[in-house]
Structure 1
Amino acid sequence: MKRVSLTFRLSMMFVCAVVAVLVVAGFTFDAFSRQHFKALDRQAMTEKLESIRQIMDGEAGSVDSSEVVLQLQALLGAHQELSASIVTKGGRTIFATANGATQPTAAVHEAGEGLLEWTAGGHTYRGMKAQVHLVNEAEPLTAWLSMDITSHMHFVKTLRWWLVIGLAISALVSAALGWLVARSGLKPVAQVTQVAASMSAGSLKERIPMDSVPRELESLVSSFNAMLARLEESFVRLSNFSADIAHELRTPISNLRTHTEVILSQKRAPDTYEENLYSNLEDLNRLSSIIDGMLFLAKSDNGLVLPAKEKIELRSVVEKLFEYYQLLAEDTGVKLQVSGHGAVYGDGTMLDRMISNLLSNALRYTPPDCTISVKIESLGRMIIVSVTNLGEEIAAEHLPRLFDRFYRADPARRDGATNNAGLGLAIVKSLVDAHDGTVGCVSRDGHTTFVIRLPAWPAD
C-alpha cells in the first residue's frame, strides 16, 4: 500500500478544518435566518391579536358591531399574506378577511410561545389563536391569525443550496491553497531530505543552514546537524583508526619479513637461526598483543564484556600489582605507594587489568627517583581510584583523546616500545564502562592523574 505524503496529509487536514468551520457557520446562519423569520412573524401576529382585542373590547372607542367589523377590516385587510377569522364557540364565523384564515387540520406542531406551524394544499402556514370578547357580549370568541410562509421556506431552502455550493467551492479552493501552503512550509523538510540523500563519506562536512528554517523545525534541523557532526567525528576517528591499525601491524610484519629474508639469504650457523627466532618471537608477541586488545575492544563495543558481580577490595588488588611491578620500579628508582581503602561491585580479573594498565603507563613516563601514588577513597556511592605520577604534562588538546585507540599524545612515540601498541588506555575505558563507571585524566603542575569512579559495594 502506497504511503500518503505529508503534504497531502496537511492539505487534507487544512481542508477538513475549513469545511468544519464553514459547516458550523452555515448551520448557525441557517438557524439564525429561520429564527429571525419566526420572530418577525410572531411579533406581527402578536401585535395584530392585541389590536383585535382592543377593537372588540371597545378600547378603540367603538361599541357598534358594524364599526368593529370596519375597524377589523381596516386593520387586517391591507395584509395579503395575513389572513384572519373570528369564530364563536359553536363554529359560526363572526369576521373573516377576504382570503379567510386557514386553520390547521393536521400535522400541527408548536413553534414556541403559542406559535403553530402546519401544511395545507402544498403551502406552509404559521399561525396563532387567542380568546377575545366582543363588546357587550359575554360569550368568548376565538380569533385565528395565519400567515403563508411558503415564500419564506423557499428562501431558506434556496439559501441552504447556495451554502452547500459555496461549501463545495470553498473546499476545493481550500484544498488547492492547503497544498500550496503545505508544500511551501515543508521546503525545509525537503532540504533535510535532499542533504540526507546526498550524504557520503566525502560530504559529511555539509550542514543545513539555520537562517531560513522555521522555528518549528529548528529542533529537527539542529538535531540533524548535530548527528552529521557526530558522524563526521566518528568517521574521522574510524579512518584514523584504520590507518593506525595498518601502521601498528606493518612494523612487526615488516620486521618478521626482513629478518626472515636476511636469514634465508645464505646458510648460517644454528646459533644465528636461534637468535633470529627469538627476535621474531618478540614481533609475534607484539602482534598477538595487538590482536588480543582489538578482539577485547570489539567485544566491548558489542556489549559482550560482562563483568562478574562480586565484592572486590581495591587495596588488595593494588598491593598485588605492586608486587608484580616492584622489580621494574626498582630498576628506575621509582617508588610505589598506596593509601586508602574501598570495596567495589565488580569483576576481579577486569579490575586487575584496569589498574595494571594505568600502573604500566605511569611507570613508562615517570622520571627516575620519583613516586607513583595510588589513592583509594569513598565518595557517596562511588569509589574513587586515583593514579598519580610526576613527569611531563599532557597538553590540554590531547586529554579528550587519550582513551582513543592507538592514540599517543607525543607523535615522537608513535612507534613506541615493543609491547606498547597504544591500546592500554582504550582498554581501561572499556573496562570502566563495563562496570558503569567513568574515567578521566588531569595533567597540571607537573603531575598527571588518572581518576576512575566505580560503584561502591553496598553498605551492610
Structure 2
Amino acid sequence: MRQPSLTTRMSLMFMLGVIFVLVVAGLSFHALAKHHFNMLDRQTLEDKLASTQHILNNTQDRQRFNSARPQLNALLGAHEDLAAVIFDSKGKVIFSEPTAFKFPADYREQTPREIWQWTEDGRQYKGIRIEIPTQSQSVAASVLLVIDVTTHEHFFEQLRRWFGLGLVISALVSAALGYVVARSGLQPLRQVTQVARSMSARSLDDRIPLEPVPRELQELVISFNEMLARLDDAFARLSNFSADIAHELRTPVSNLVTHTEVVLSQKRDIESYQENLYSNLEDLNKMSRMIDDMLFLAKSDNGLITPKQEPIELSSLVSKLIEYYGLLADEMSITFSVSGEGRVLGDQLMLDRAISNLLSNALRYTAPGNTIAIAIETVANCVSLSVKNPGETINPEYVGKLFDRFYRADPARREGGPSNAGLGLAITQSIVEAHKGEIVCSSANGTTTFQMSFPVCSVP
C-alpha cells in the first residue's frame, strides 16, 4: 500500500486538529447554553411557585380563595409559556391557567419541589409541584406549575444542525489551508529533493543555501551538504585513483607489447627468447604486486580487513626487520638506531608489512653516511613507533597527501625505482587504521618523521 505524502499527512493532521478544537468548543458551548436555559427555567418556576404559595397562604377558606383569583390570573397568566394548575385536597382542579390545560396524570408521583421533564404531543415540558398545608378541603392543597420548553429544544436542534454544517465547512477549509501551509513549509525539502535528483558526477559541488531554509530544517540541509562534500571528495579520489591505475599499468603493458613485438619481428636464438621472457616476467611481477596492493586497499576501504589480536613486542619485530634490511643499509653506508619498547595487540604479518614500508622509504630517501632513528614509546594508553630519517624537507602542502594512492607530486618523495607503484604509504595507513591506530608525517629542518600510534596491549 502506497503511503500518503508528507504534505497530505500534515494537512490531515491540521484538519483533525481544527475539527477537535471545534468539537470541543461546540460541545462546551452546547453544555453551557443548556445549563443556562435550565437555570432560567428553574428560576422562573421557583419564582412563580414562591409567589403563588405566598398568595395561597392567605386563603384559608373558599371565599378568600375566590378573592385571590385575580391575583393568581395576573401572576400566572402573564407568562406565555407557563401553565398552572391548583388542586384541592381531593385532587379536584380548582384553578387552571390556561383553562383547558392538559396536565400529566402522574404528577402526584413526582417529588415535591423537584423539576421533571416530559414530552407530550411533540412538545417538551418541565414541571414542578408543591404541597400546601390546609385545614379546609375546599381550598388549595397542591400547586402544579408547567413551562413549555419546546422553543429551547428547537433552538438546540437548530444549533446542532448549524454546528454540523459549520464543522464540515471548517474541515474542508482547514484541510485546504493546511495543504497550502504544509506545501509552503516543505519547500526546502523539495529543494533538497530537486538537488538530489539533479545530482551527477559533474554536479557534486552543488550546495543548498542555508539562508532561505527554516531553522528546523537547517540541520537536515547541513547534513545533506556535508554528504555531498564527502561524495564529491570520494568521487574525486576515485577518479584520480582510476587515472593513476591506468597510468601505472600502461607502462608495463606497453613494455610487454614492445618486447613481444621485437621478439616476434624475426627468428632469434634461445638465449634472446629467454632474455625477453625474463624482462616480461619482471613487468608481470610488478603488475601482480600492484594488483595485490590494490585488492588489499579495496578490502580496507570496505572494512574487510580483520587483523588478528595477539600480543606483539614492537622492539622484537623491529629488530627482525633491521636484520632483513641490514645488508642493503650496509651497502648504502646507512645505520639504524632503535630505542624504547612497547607492546600492542595486532596481526604480526600486517604490522611487519607496515613497518617494512616505512623502513624501505627511509632507506630510499636517506643519503649515505646518515642514521635512521626508530623510537618506541609508551605513554598512558598509547604506544607509538616513529621512523625518523634525514633528507630533503618535504613541502608542507605535500605532507597531507603522502598517504594518497599513487601520489608523486613532490619530487623529494618520488619512488626510487621502477618496482614502486606509490601504494606503500596508503597500505601502511590502512593497516594502522585497521588496528584502531593512526599515522602522521612531519617534515622540517631536513628531517622527515613517520609516527604510528596504537592502543597499548593490556593482556598480561
- Tell me the alpha carbon deviations over residues 366-406 of structure 1, each in whole angstroms, 9 at most, x when there is no partner: 23333322222223333222222232333333333322211
Q: Which amino acid aligns with 1:196?
A: A
- 1:147 aligned partner: 147
* TM-aligned CA deviation for residue 127 of structure 1: 2.1
- 1:303 aligned partner: 303
- Is 1:365 matched with 2:369? no
- 2:130 aligned partner: 130
1: CA distance between counterparts of 2:248 and 2:292? 13
Confirm or deny: 8 A CA contact 1:310 1:347 kept in the other structure.
yes
Confirm or deny: 8 A CA contact 1:252 1:287 kept in the other structure.
yes
Helix, strand or coil for the counterpart of 2:238?
Answer: helix
2: CA distance between counterparts of 1:399 and 1:134? 119
Q: Which amino acid aligns with 2:429?
A: K
- 1:250 aligned partner: 250
Single out whichever of 127-136 and 228-237 deviates more from structure 2: 127-136
- For residues 64-75 of structure 1, what are the structure 2 equivalents within 5 Å? 64-75=64-75
Q: Which amino acid aligns with 2:56?
A: M
* TM-aligned CA deviation for residue 312 of structure 1: 1.2
Cα 1:329–1:415, aligned 2, differ >3 Å: closer, same or farther? Answer: closer
1: CA distance between counterparts of 2:380 and 2:69? 108
- 2:57 aligned partner: 57
- Is 1:197 matched with 2:202? no
2: CA distance between counterparts of 1:154 and 1:107? 25
1: CA distance between counterparts of 2:269 and 2:303? 51
Cα 1:398–1:146, aligned 2, differ >3 Å: closer, same or farther? Answer: farther
- Is 1:77 matched with 2:90? no
- Is 1:211 matched with 2:192? no
2: CA distance between counterparts of 1:385 and 1:432? 11
Single out whichever of 98-107 and 429-438 deviates more from structure 2: 98-107
- Is 1:285 matched with 2:285? yes
- Tell me the alpha carbon deviations over residues 308-355 of structure 1, each in whole angstroms, 9 at most, x when there is no partner: 221111111011111111222223333212222222111111111111
2: CA distance between counterparts of 1:114 and 1:215? 62
1: CA distance between counterparts of 2:286 and 2:230? 33
Let me know the Cα RMSD of the aligned residues: 3.0
* TM-aligned CA deviation for residue 208 of structure 1: 1.8
Single out whichever of 27-36 and 149-158 deviates more from structure 2: 27-36
- For residues 60-459 of structure 1, what are the structure 2 equivalents within 5 Å? 64-99=64-99, 103-105=103-105, 114-133=114-133, 141-266=141-266, 275-410=275-410, 417-459=417-459
Q: Which amino acid aligns with 1:34?
A: K
Cα 1:438–1:136, aligned 2, differ >3 Å: closer, same or farther? Answer: farther
2: CA distance between counterparts of 1:109 and 1:21? 43
- Tell me the alpha carbon deviations over residues 38-86 of structure 1, each in whole angstroms, 9 at most, x when there is no partner: 1111121122222223333359xxx943443332222111012011223
Helix, strand or coil for the counterpart of 2:166?
Answer: helix
TM-score calculated relative to the size of structure 1: 0.89
* TM-aligned CA deviation for residue 263 of structure 1: 4.9
Confirm or deny: 8 A CA contact 1:101 1:144 kept in the other structure.
no
Confirm or deny: 8 A CA contact 2:395 2:410 kept in the other structure.
no
Helix, strand or coil for the counterpart of 1:189?
Answer: helix
2: CA distance between counterparts of 1:415 and 1:380? 37
Confirm or deny: 8 A CA contact 1:14 1:175 kept in the other structure.
yes
2: CA distance between counterparts of 1:323 and 1:374? 14
2: CA distance between counterparts of 1:147 and 1:240? 96
- 2:44 aligned partner: 44
Confirm or deny: 8 A CA contact 1:132 1:142 kept in the other structure.
yes
Runs of at least 5 residues in structure 1 that lack an aligned partner in the other structure: none
* TM-aligned CA deviation for residue 161 of structure 1: 0.3
1: CA distance between counterparts of 2:222 and 2:333? 55
Single out whichever of 347-356 and 209-218 deviates more from structure 2: 209-218
TM-score calculated relative to the size of structure 2: 0.89
Cα 1:362–1:124, aligned 2, differ >3 Å: closer, same or farther? Answer: same
Helix, strand or coil for the counterpart of 1:354?
Answer: helix
Single out whichever of 222-231 and 405-414 deviates more from structure 2: 405-414
Single out whichever of 175-184 and 307-316 deviates more from structure 2: 175-184
- 1:5 aligned partner: 5
Percent identical pairs in the alignment equals 54
2: CA distance between counterparts of 1:107 and 1:379? 101
- Tell me the alpha carbon deviations over residues 232-262 of structure 1, each in whole angstroms, 9 at most, x when there is no partner: 1111111100110011111222233334444
Q: Which amino acid aligns with 2:15?
A: V
Confirm or deny: 8 A CA contact 1:387 1:450 kept in the other structure.
yes
Helix, strand or coil for the counterpart of 1:450?
Answer: strand
1: CA distance between counterparts of 2:54 and 2:179? 66
* TM-aligned CA deviation for residue 415 of structure 1: 6.6
2: CA distance between counterparts of 1:109 and 1:454? 97
2: CA distance between counterparts of 1:293 and 1:104? 106
2: CA distance between counterparts of 1:6 and 1:107? 62
